Amino acid sequence: MTRKADLATIARETLRHAYAPYSGYRVGAALETESGEVFSGCNVENASYGLTICAERAAAAKAVSAGHRRFRRLVVATERDRAAVPCGACCQFVAEFGDDTMVYSVANKETLSWSLKDLIPHAFTGSMLEREAGT
Ligand SMILES: [Zn+2]
């Protein structure tokens, strides 16, 4: 099992690969799956801003692409003093695979943690797509 400190190191190393020419806000993420494997990601910005992908979603997409569906911990790292809170899109995206993932955010002067359910207590789920009688 990967220690949280190791995940933070991986997230910090990965943020060096961030592509953030517009915001200059580089983010790295390390996601530990239920089986203990770790997938990293960085933010990838685009000149068409809406296409930007956050580090958290990049890591989750890599994990899912490798066949993983359950996550134990997600560590987000920035090179700023204040810790970043994952955006709503990333919380929704990761919640698709369970809302019991622990989320940590590390920065130069601050470390924060939450359960994913704390961050998005009412995530949209697949059960909401089930047809109701008469529809
Ligand atoms: Zn995000």
Cα torsion 77, 47, 24, 43 to 10°: value is: 10
Task: Write out the chain's pLDDT in tens, 135 residues.
Answer: 577 779 999 999 999 999 999 999 999 999 999 999 999 999 999 999 999 999 999 999 999 999 999 999 999 999 999 999 999 999 999 999 989 999 999 999 999 999 999 999 999 999 899 988 887
The tokens of 67 are what?
A: 């066949």
Distance 41 CA to ligand 1 centre (A): 11
Distance 87 CA to ligand 1 centre (A): 4
Q: Which of 56, 79, 110, 130 is catalytic?
A: 56
Distance 26 CA to ligand 1 centre (A): 12
Global confidence as pTM:
0.94
Nearest to 1 by CA among 70, 67, 72: 72
Give the residue extent of every domain in the chain.
Answer: 4-123
* Backbone phi and psi for residue 88, each to the nearest 5 degrees, phi listed first: -60, -40
Distance 27 CA to ligand 1 centre (A): 10
Superfamily grouping for domain 4-123: Cytidine Deaminase, domain 2 (3.40.140.10)
The tokens of 26 are what?
A: 């580089």
56 is catalytic: yes
